[in-house]
Amino acid sequence: MTKRKSPAKAPIPTYELYGEDDPAGSRFWVHCETIPARSALHHWEIGLHRHECYFQILLVTGGSGDAVFDGEVARFEPVSVVTVPPAVGHGFRFSPDIDGYVFTFLASRLPVRPGEPNALGRFLSTPLITRLAPQEPDGDLVLAHLIRVVAEWQGRLTGRTVLMETGLAAALALTARLAAQDRMETEGADDNDRRLEAFSSLLHREVRNHRPASFYADALGITPTHLNRVLKAKTGFGTQELVAQRLIEETQRELLFTPGSIKEVAFRLGFSDPAYFSRFFSRQTGLTPGAWREQEQVRLGSREENADGISAR
């Protein structure tokens, strides 16, 4: 008896915007549309897919539906914020009366990246549905920030890029706070969680000053060995590795979104020796700073005009 091979599992398609294969779709940093605008074209069902570089927020203000995250199904009702990190397989089933907005934007434009070792970074790295309770101040602010982003997107007035970036970041930070409050009620927080949070905040402020591990340990009132053990237990990385990762993220943001030579970028990041800066970057990424910048500019279409007609370089 001959055994039949199981059919190969179809790969999850990757889109910039769902259902669009046009490579020109990668030449934007933010896109905003109503949920019905796209879901109605697909009979209120968005098949499993993912976005390589883009973060998504769904603001659900009416109707209901199910979110599918890598095979797990979660229900949402208004008013909810659905957050989807890059590279996560996801899909949606909406009721015909669904209402709200979808925001699709480059994760690299956020001040904190998904996966960073702090509360916001962890929140941004996991798909989640967060309910905005009625008459809750932070929930009202989330709603206000996202509605303002919609207005700026539609209005196309001067300064909208800054206002949209700020609005999206603020909405996510507040949503993360609400999600954490819900979680804290049932899980609590231990001392090492607080140490990780304090370390992450300190690292964000001091990364360009190239502080040694002992600086962070002293600030937290523990030994460098203890700090290293705590960070490894919580993140899988030691102190020096996390410092290097954070510095590389700062470097990549500078290279991609600010003008200037490699030497100028090195000085802005606190490196007194541009040659050492290049060696450090190459060890961490496998590319020189110049090669990485050129590769990313081509990949993200940053030589094309963004939504404001301003080069993303």
Q: Is-contact 54 16, C-beta < 8 A?
A: yes
- What mean pLDDT is reported for the chain? 86
Q: Is 274 exposed, middle or buried (0-12, 13-18, 19+ CB in 10 A)?
A: middle
As a whole-number percent, the residues of the chain with pLDDT over 90 amount to 65
| pLDDT of res. 117 | 81
Q: Pick 215 or 185 by higher pLDDT.
A: 215
Sequence-distant (≥ 6) Cβ neighbours of residue 96 within 8 angstroms: 44, 63
- What is the pLDDT averaged over residues 128-143? 92
**pLDDT 10s digits, 283-303:** 999 999 999 998 888 877 643
Q: Is-contact 126 271, C-beta < 8 A?
A: no
Per-residue pLDDT for 9 more than 70?
Answer: no
What are the chain's domains? 23-187 (2.60.120.280), 191-299 (1.10.10.60)
**pLDDT 10s digits, 78-89:** 999 999 999 999
| pLDDT of res. 186 | 46
H or E element, residue 47: strand 45-49
**pLDDT 10s digits, 253-280:** 889 888 889 999 999 999 999 999 999 9
| pLDDT of res. 191 | 81
Spatial distance between the Cα atoms of 93 and 99, rounded to a whole number of angstroms: 13
- Map tokens 């005009």 to a residue: 305
**What does DSSP assign to residue 14?**
B
Q: Which of 188, 187, 211 is nearest to 199 (CA)?
A: 211
**pLDDT 10s digits, 22-60:** 444 446 899 999 999 999 999 999 999 999 899 999 999
- What is the pLDDT averaged over residues 85-98? 94
- What is the pLDDT averaged over residues 133-147? 93
